Chains A and B, each alone.
Chain A
Amino acid sequence: MIKAVMMMNTQGKPRLAKFYDFLPVEKQQELIRGVFSVLSSRPENVSNFLEIDSLFGPDSRLVYKHYATLYFVLVFDGSENELAMLDLIQVLVETLDKCFSNVCELDIVFNYSKMHTVLDEIVFGGQVLETRSDEIMKAVEEISKLEAASNSISLVPKSVSGWRGGR
C-alpha cells in the first residue's frame, strides 16, 4: 500500500503532500522535513530507493525522483514493487506533462487543486488505481470542463446544463 505521496522542491518546500492514512498536521510536517533532509543528503547518480523505517515505521520504503527543481516522493510498504513505484512517478509526471504541457514547478504550485485531482485518479486510497495517462487525462479533463463551465455560471446563467456535461 502506498502511504504517502509528496512533492517538494529542492529547498524543501512542500508543494503537495498527501498521506493515505490520517496523520496530524505536525506529524506530516515532521515527516516532510525528515524526508527532505534524507533526500538532500543523497549524492547524484545513486539509487532512487531508500529504506526509511526510522520515519515511517517498519517495512517502509521510499522511492524518489528528482526532476529539475522538484522531488517526487512515494512512500509505501513491502507489498509494492520498488521499480514499479518508480514508474508510477513516471506516470504521474507524464500525466502532469500532458496536463500542463511541459510541466514545471510553477504549474504545480499554481494548480494545487488540479494536482490533487490528477493524483486521485492515479492513486486511490493507497492503491494504484490507474496507470494509463490517457485515461487519467480523460477523467481530469471531464472535471476541467465542469470547472470552465461553472466558472461562467456566475457570468452567464445559461450554462446551467454545464455541470451535467460530464456525463
Chain B
Amino acid sequence: MEQLKTIGRELAMGSQGGFGQSKEFLDLVKSIGEARSKAEEDRIVLSEIDILKRKLLEPDIPKRKMKEYIIRLVYIEMLGHDASFGYIHAVKMTHDDNLLLKRTGYLAVTLFLNEDHDLIILIVNTIQKDLRSDNYLVVCAALNAICRLINEETIPAVLPQVVDLLNHQKEAVRKKAIMALHRFHRKSPSSVSHLISNFRKRLCDNDPGVMGATLCPLFDLITEDVSSYKDLVSSFVSILKQVTERRLPKSYDYHQMPAPFIQIKLLKILALLGCGDKSASEIMSMVLGDLFRKCDSSTNIGNAILYECIRCISCIIPSPKLLEAAADAISKFLKSDSHNLKYMGIDGLGRLIKISPDIAEQHQLAVIDCLEDPDDTLKRKTFELLYKMTKSSNVEVIVDRMTDYMISINDNHYKTEIASRCVELAEQFAPSNQWFIQVIMNKVFEHAGDLVNIKVAHNLMRLIAEGFGEDDDDADSKLRLSAVESHLQIMSEPKLPSLFLQVISWVLGEYGTADGKYSASYISGKLCDVADAYSSDETVKGYAVSALMKIYAFEIASGRKVDVLPECQSLIEELLASHSTDLQQRAYELQALLALDARAVESILPLDASCEDIEVDKDLSFLNGYIQQAIESGAQPYISERERSCMLETTDYHSQDHHEVPSHALRFEAYERPKPSSLPTQASTELVPVPEPSYYSEAHQPISTSSVSERESSEIKLRLDGVKQKWGRPSYQSSTSASSTPPQAANGTSSHPDVGVGSSSLKPRSSYESKKPEIDPEKQRLAASLFGGSSTSRSDRKSSSGGHKPAKGTASKPPKENPIPVQPPPDLLDFGEPTATSVTATDPFKELEGLMDSSSQDGGSTDVMGVLYSDAAPVTTTTSVDSLLSELSDSSKGNPGTYQSQTSKGPNSKEALEKDALVRQMGVNPTSQNPTLFKDLLG
C-alpha cells in the first residue's frame, strides 16, 4: 500500500515537474526510506557517494543535471555523510545567472560551509553582485546566504549594499536586509555599531512586517543597553496598543489574534524597558491590562500572549491590579488540562513569587499535581519552582522529593544539576546536622557521588568533625556515632562512588573507634576491605591507609596493644611496593608509626584533633643559625620573593628539578646555579646535592616524612587576616571575627578568645502545618509541608524570609568575591611527628559559637546553618596536622634543589591539588610566624 502510494506520488511528481527532481534522486530517497537498518542505509549512501564522485568528474555536465547532483549531495550530508568532495561544485553554481541554479547553489553552500571555510572567498564577489541585482528574488537569495556565510572579516565587503537595501521598494527585501544586519550585529557588534540608528528608523516603516522584523534586533540591543532606549517606551506601547486594537491589516491576523508574534516581541521588549523603572512601568500598565482582558485564552497563541504578559509583569514594577490579573491568568493555566499550559503556569508562578510570595499558596495543590505528573518536563519545571521557594520550614520535604527524583532518573546531566541543588538547599536551610548527614551522605552521595563537587564531601567531613558548634559534646559524639554507624552499614554495598568512600574512610579513621562501640580490629578490617574492593582507586586507598594509621595511633596512644590484622599487614606490604609514591609513602609512614611509643604517637596524631588550628612558623626562623653558618661559609643569600615570582608562576612542582627559567633558544653560556625558591631564610646552594647531607636529613626528618602531598592546601585557613571573612556578614564583621579567630600561639599557651558565648539556637524547624480539611489527606499534608510556613501567619513569614535572605547572601556571596579557591581539606592525617606540640588546646566549638552568635543575631537561626555550611569557612581547619605540614611542604616545593630527594620519592598527589595550592599561594601572602615552634618540635 505504502509502496503504491509512493509510486503514485512519484508519477504525479514526474508529470508536474515538481521541484525538478530526477528519477535517480527519487529512487535514492525511496531506497533510503525503505532501508531496514542503519547499515543498509549507510551502504546505499556510500554507493550513492561513489556514483556522485564519478559523475561530478565527467566533463560538460548539463546544468540541470548538476543541480540535481548538488541536491543529492545536500541530502547525503543531512544523513550524516561527508559530501565535501562536491562543495566546489555548489560554489560554482552560485555564480550561475539562472536564478534557479543560483538558489540551489546558495542553499547548498549555506548548508555545507561554515563562515570561515576557505571557499567562502569565492562566493563573496558573487554575493556582492547579487545584492545589487534588479531581480528581488536574486537579492533575497543573496541576503539569505549572507546570514550564514559572512564572517567578521567579510562583513565590510557587503555592508554598504545591505544598508542600501534597507530602502528597497519591496518590503520582503527590507525585512531580510534588517535581519541580515541583525545577524551582523550578533556576529560582530562593532562592525555595525554606526548603523544602529537604522533600526530605529525602520521601526517607523509603513509595512508592519518590516516593523515587526525590526523588533528582533531592537530586542537584542535593548538587552545589552536598556538606558539608551528608554525614550522608545511610549512608541512601543503605542504600537502594541494599535496592534491590539486591530489597526493592522486583517492579513496579519493569526487564529483571530492580531499579529501575535509582533505582540510577543513587543511584550518582551517592554519587560526589559520596564524593569525597575517605575515611570516606564506605569506607561505600559494600561495596555497590559487591556491585553489581559482581550486575550483569547482558548487558543494556543492567545495563551502565548498571556504568558508573555505575565512574564512582563514579573519584570516591571506592576500595579496591584496587574499583579492580580497575572495571578488570575496563572491560575487559569494551572487549572487547565493541557500540560503545556500547566508548564507555562508553573513557570509564571516561579517568576511571580519573587515579587508576591503569597501567590504560591493558592496553587499548592496544583503544584503538587504537577510534581506527580508523569510528564518529565513539567516535573522538572516544578522542581525548579520548589527550589525557588525553599525555606527552612519546607526544606526537608523538598529535598526529600528532589533526592527521590534524582535517584529515579538516568540522565546524568540533570542528575548532576539536581544533586547540586539538593546540596545547596541542604547547606542553606538544613534544620539539623543529622538530617544533613542523612540526606547528603546517604542519598546524594550514594547515588550521585561521582557527579557532585568534591567540596561537598569536604563540607560533610568538616560538619562531622565540628558537630553542632554548640557546647554540647554529647550531641557531637552522637552525631559522629550515627555517621559511623550508617557508614558501616552502607559500606557493604557494592560499587559506591569514590568520593563517598573517601568520606567513609575518613570518618571511620577519625571516629570509628572513638566511643568504644567498635573495636579497632573491626574498623581496620572494614578499611582493609575497602582498600581491597576498590584496589584500582588510589585516592580511596590513600584515604583508607591514612584512616588505618589513625586507628592504630589512637590505639597506641591509649596504651592498648595493637595487633595488626593479617589482611592489614598484607595490605601494608603490598603498598610498600606500590607504584604510587603516595601510597608507598603512606604505607611507610604507617609502618614507622607502629614502631613508635605511645607518647610520640599521641603527639603525632592526637585524638579528635581534626578541627584544631595549627600555628605555623612561616619564616623558619629556627634555621637562622644554620643560615648564618652557611652564608659565612660562602653560600649565596636569600633572593626575595618578588625576584622569583615570575619563575614561581610557571613552576610545575613535579618537574622542579628540570625547571629552569624557561628559555626558547639555545643557550651557550653555562647554566646558572639553581635558584632558591620559597624557603625564605635558606641559602640553597649548599643544599643542592641530591644525596642529602646527613646533618640536613637529620634535622629535617619530620619534613621529609611529611608528605608534600595534598596538604599545602590548608595553609590558607590559618591566614585570616587579609582574607575576606566568610562567616557572618562579609564586610564589617570580618575584621572582628578575623581577629578573634586566628590560631593561637603554637607552644600550647592558647589565648583562646571567649567572645560572646551565647548558645545560638539551632532547633530543628519542622513547623508543619496542621491539616486542612477536604481533599486527599496525603496531598494535603504534602502541600502543608511545602507551603506551610507561609500560610501560618504573614508576619511570621515575612520575618523568616527577611531572615534568611541575608543569610543566603552571606552564605553564597563570599566565595565569589573571594579569589581564593575553596580547597579540599587535605588528605587527612598522615604524619610528621613533631606537629603535635603545635596543636592548640582551643576548643573549636567555642570559637564557632562566637561566630555563630554574631551571625545569628541578624539572620535568625536559619542563617547559622547557612553560614555554617557555606563552604570554605576559613576559620576551621579540618586537620591541624596537615596545615602545618602543608606549610612546610609548600616551602619545600618552592625550593628546587633542596628537597628534591623527598619530592621525588614521597608525596605525589594530584596535579589539580597542587595547582590549587599554587593559586592559593598566590592569593595569600604568608605573614605571621612563630619562631618557637620548631624549637619545640625538634628539640
Q: A143, B251: Cβ atoms under 8 Å?
A: no
Instruction: Please judge, given known A-B contacts A106-B6, A124-B144, whether A151 and B17 are in contact too, CB under 8 Å.
Output: yes
Bin the interface of chain A by size.
35 or more
Q: B264, A84: Cβ atoms under 8 Å?
A: yes
B79, B136, B216, B340: the one contacting A127 at CB < 8 Å is B216
> Smallest CB–CB gap between B202 and chain A, Å?
14
Q: A29, B71: Cβ atoms under 8 Å?
A: no
Q: B377, A110: Cβ atoms under 8 Å?
A: no
Q: Mark A62-82, 1 if CB is under 8 A from B, else 0.
A: 000000000000000001011
**Please, which residues of chain A bring their CB within 8 A of the CB of B62?**
154
**Please, which residues of chain B bring their CB within 8 A of the CB of A107?**
9
| Nearest opposing residue in chain A for B12, CB measure | A110
Q: A79, B268: Cβ atoms under 8 Å?
A: yes
> Smallest CB–CB gap between B84 and chain A, Å?
9
Q: A125, B180: Cβ atoms under 8 Å?
A: yes
**Please, which residues of chain B bring their CB within 8 A of the CB of A110?**
9-10, 13, 18, 21, 26, 29
Q: A16, B303: Cβ atoms under 8 Å?
A: no
Determine if B360 is an interface residue (Cβ-Cβ < 8 Å): no
Q: B115, A22: Cβ atoms under 8 Å?
A: yes
Q: A134, B261: Cβ atoms under 8 Å?
A: no
Complex: how many Å from CA A88 to CA B304?
11
Instruction: Please judge, given known A-B contacts A28-B80, A106-B5, A142-B137, whether A50 and B377 are in contact too, CB under 8 Å.
Output: yes
Instruction: Please judge, given known A-B contacts A49-B340, A84-B260, A110-B10, whether A129 and B79 are in contact too, CB under 8 Å.
Output: no
**Please, which residues of chain B bring their CB within 8 A of the CB of A93?**
none
Q: A46, B251: Cβ atoms under 8 Å?
A: no
Q: Across the A-B interface, how many residue pairs have beta carbons closer than 8 Å?
A: 192
Instruction: Please judge, given known A-B contacts A43-B374, A106-B9, whether A129 and B26 are in contact too, CB under 8 Å.
Output: no
Instruction: Please judge, given known A-B contacts A90-B300, A112-B75, A132-B251, whether A83 and B340 are in contact too, CB under 8 Å.
Output: yes
Determine if B135 is an interface residue (Cβ-Cβ < 8 Å): yes
Q: Mark B206-247, 1 if CB is under 8 A from A, else 0.
A: 000100010010010001000000000000000000000000
Q: A143, B137: Cβ atoms under 8 Å?
A: yes
> Smallest CB–CB gap between A81 and chain B, Å?
5
Complex: how many Å from CA A166 to CA B103?
14
**Please, which residues of chain A bring their CB within 8 A of the CB of B100?**
146-147, 150, 163
**Which residues of chain A in 80-100 are interfacial with respect to chain B, using CB atoms and an 8 Å cutoff?**
81-84, 86-88, 90-91
Determine if B711 is an interface residue (Cβ-Cβ < 8 Å): no
Complex: how many Å from CA A45 to CA B900?
68
Q: Mark B357-397, 1 if CB is under 8 A from A, else 0.
A: 00000000000000001111110110000000000000000
Q: Mark B1-42, 1 if CB is under 8 A from A, else 0.
A: 000011001100100011111000010010011000000000
Determine if B752 is an interface residue (Cβ-Cβ < 8 Å): no
> Smallest CB–CB gap between A112 and chain B, Å?
6
**Please, which residues of chain B bring their CB within 8 A of the CB of A45?**
339
Q: A113, B19: Cβ atoms under 8 Å?
A: yes
Q: A13, B64: Cβ atoms under 8 Å?
A: no
Q: A84, B261: Cβ atoms under 8 Å?
A: yes
Q: B80, A26: Cβ atoms under 8 Å?
A: yes
A1, A29, A112: the one contacting B74 at CB < 8 Å is A112
Complex: how many Å from CA A90 to CA B340?
15
Q: A132, B378: Cβ atoms under 8 Å?
A: no
> Smallest CB–CB gap between B729 and chain A, Å?
32
Instruction: Please judge, given known A-B contacts A14-B78, A134-B251, A144-B19, whether A129 and B175 are in contact too, CB under 8 Å.
Output: yes
Complex: how many Å from CA A111 to CA B17?
11
**Please, which residues of chain B bring their CB within 8 A of the CB of A120?**
144
| Nearest opposing residue in chain B for A131, CB measure | B261
B33, B216, B373: the one contacting A13 at CB < 8 Å is B33
**Please, which residues of chain A bring their CB within 8 A of the CB of B570?**
none
Instruction: Please judge, given known A-B contacts A84-B261, A87-B260, A125-B180, whether A111 and B115 are in contact too, CB under 8 Å.
Output: no
10 A-B residue pairs with CB within 8 Å: A50-B377, A51-B377, A51-B381, A81-B304, A87-B301, A127-B179, A131-B260, A147-B17, A151-B20, A166-B137
Given A109-B29, A124-B175, A132-B254, 20 more pairs with CB closer than 8 A? A17-B78, A25-B81, A26-B80, A47-B342, A48-B340, A49-B377, A84-B260, A86-B304, A87-B255, A90-B300, A112-B19, A112-B29, A113-B71, A125-B179, A128-B216, A146-B100, A147-B20, A150-B99, A151-B17, A167-B135
